[in-house]
Amino acid sequence: MLAEERRSRLLELVRTRGFAALPDLADALAVSESTVRRDLDFLEDAGTAKRTHGGVFYTGSSPKLPHFDERQPAQWDKKKAIAARAAQLVQDGDTLLLDGGTTTYEMARLLVGRHLQIVTNSLPVANLFAAGATTDLILVGGYVYPRTGVSLGPYANQMLASLNVRRTVLSVAGINDRGFFNSNLLLVETERAMLNASEEVIVVADSTKFGHQSLAHLCPLDRVDYLVVDHEIDDTWRKKIEAAGVQLVVAAPPGAQPVNHS
């Protein structure tokens, strides 16, 4: 069997099972565990699987949400850097509320296998944790917006009003002097409920979002506790964010150390 074909079959096994043990994968493919490990290294580098103690989780995006998959590649390097830096703010044992933004999704990939309580209104995010033995998953219900696979509307908001979490992580579509924006009115209502359910709010956004607004205003700048951005944020916006009392966390470029601004 060619390596490409074997990896394709391996990925499909992991995807359909959610979590798979290495010996089971080796038996299914009739290859050695060392071969499986090499192939899993390749899949992990591609972001579609994550190895953990005793096996591997599927971390690819949902094939049933093409619009989500189409949005994901935009500003890919920035999103990956921001996600990695934001994941460092999460402590084991946290109760974490995650929205359905693509940067949040990249962050969620890095949290698979950790000891957390995850609350989310996102089907793609929930899919990452559904088979995990170390993570408790709470899925927020409601009307599912088909383009992104997130639950919105009054039922979602009602459930969120009854929850209390340590940290909420949100993606946004725009940031200007008035604050944070998103492109869907129902989504913004649900994200406001997420803000109210949390002790601490983290917004993840790449530098292309600054200076722009979107359809619906989410909240003013000073409503959030942390803003995690890439290193291309300019000095003007650094000063504005700091003046609002928000802790700015800058994802470092490759090879550099993270920088915190408070």
Instruction: List the CATH number of the domain containing 42.
Output: 1.10.10.10
In one letter, which amino acid is 113?
G
Compare 28 and 163 and report the one with higher pLDDT: 163
What token pair was written down for 95? 């109760």
- The percentage of residues in the chain with a pLDDT greater than 90, rounded to a whole number, is 56
Residues 188 and 219 in one domain: yes
Residues 32 and 117 in one domain: no
Q: Give just the sign of the alpha carbon dihedral 10, 13, 18, 22.
A: negative
Sheet-wide strand order for 259-261:
135-139, 116-120, 95-98, 165-171, 198-204, 226-230, 247-251, 259-261
**What is the number of domains present in the chain?**
2
Confidence of residue 8 (pLDDT cuts 50, 70, 90): confident
Residues 108 and 233 in one domain: yes
Cβ–Cβ under 8 Å, residues 232 and 254 = no
- Distances from the Cα of 133 to the Cα of 23, 56, 113, angstroms: 18, 12, 8
Structural domain boundaries enclosing 131:
66-261
38-63 per-position pLDDT tens digit: 999 888 888 888 777 667 877 765 54
